[in-house]
Amino acid sequence: MTSFQPQYGFNIVGKNIAAVRRFYGMSQAALGKSIGRDRQFIQRIESGGKLPAEYLEAIAETLQLENPFILTRSPISPDMLPNVIKSHGSVTFSHIKSGDSNVGF
């Protein structure tokens, strides 16, 4: 199984996932649910854990990124977010069921 992991002790992937998720005001639980995992899975990734390759595209799709590999490169700064997100003005996350008490934005 291929995974994306921190290089040189710096967790670029996890930090970028957290930055985009927070930009939307999305919880770790909501992101986890959208890819069929739980909050702890997202928490581990954002804290420096390995990201199995099969989840990279699913996370990028949920976060509506133009290119999933943007998560694996340099850190995404707040001023870059509008440039890496597909349609930053009309995000609804309608693909995630609302009303779930365990999932919040």
3 state SS of 56: helix
Look at residue 1 in the predicted model and tell me its pLDDT.
55
Query: Which own/partner pairs from 38-43 qualify as long-range (CB within 8 Å, at least 24 positions apart)?
Result: 42/17
pLDDT number for residue 47:
92
Domains and CATH numbers, the chain: 3-84 (1.10.260.40)
Q: What per-residue confidence (pLDDT) applies to 39?
A: 97
Specify the pLDDT at position 95. Answer: 46
Model pLDDT for residues 43-100, shown as the tens digit of each residue: 999 998 988 888 988 999 999 887 888 788 778 887 887 777 775 444 444 444 443 4
Q: Which helix (H) or strand (E) holds 31?
A: helix 28-34
Question: Which comes out higher in pLDDT, residue 89 or 23?
Answer: 23
Residue 56: Cβ within 10 Å count: 21
